[in-house]
Amino acid sequence: MIPVVKAFAARVTGMAISTFARFMTAPRAVWQGIEPAPRLRVYFANHSSNGDFVLLWTALPTPLRRQTRPVAALDYWLSSPLRAFIGREVFNAVLIDRRPEARTEDPVAQMVAALDQGSSLILFPEGQRNSSDAPLLPFKSGLYHLAKARPSVDLVPVWIANLNRVMPKGEVIPVPLICTLTFGAPLHVEPDETKEAFLARASEALLALKGPA
């Protein structure tokens, strides 16, 4: 595909996806203890639906959306030509290979490189979609290593509410429901903070945005 045509197709597709997401979920962004400012950030959120990063990306104001890249699974987004186009061209995703034995790039190095290029990131520290009864799965270590590598970058917890009901696992047709995304105060790793302590603090900060059951 000619680069100009590909870029145009990516913009149109992105607008279509965003419009559909807004139509189906009427996403409401609540900025709680933080403002939607054009700062370098890592938005880390709970992961209960395949549509999580699309909704979070859609909920950001346009200037922030343009500079924000989701971190996504390479094996999923390169599984078909259409997904590859959406993942690479529409969302400019940082594609992470979840297979350590086949990996040719370090995932943290990939994310750090994206930050150094001026992109904010959308990250799901649970590492996989949560289908359990627990509100959150244990966090993987990537968020900690990213925080250590770039300690000045804001780590912003975002609780996504209701999306798992819009797009239940195994369903193809979404159910229209209002979704709320609550953005919390940014975190930074402390100089002597252990990985376990930091991940526990990050998990607690995210759960605090969930509110009462």
Amino acid in position 174:
P
Burial label, 143 (beta-carbon count in 10 A; 0-12, 13-18, 19+)? buried
Choose between 74 and 7: higher pLDDT.
Answer: 74
Cβ contacts of residue 53 below 8 Å, gap of 6+?
A: 70, 72, 91, 122, 124
The pTM of the full predicted model, rounded to 2 decimals, is 0.86
How far is it, in rounded angstroms, from Cα 177 to Cα 31?
20
pLDDT tens per residue, range 97-145: 887 777 788 899 999 999 999 999 999 999 888 878 888 999 999 999 9
Give the model's pLDDT for residue 203.
96
pLDDT tens per residue, range 156-211: 999 998 654 544 454 444 444 567 899 999 999 999 999 999 999 999 999 999 86
Residue 23: pLDDT band with limits 50, 70, 90 = low
The average pLDDT across 42-52 equals 86
Domain at 3-208, CATH class: alpha beta
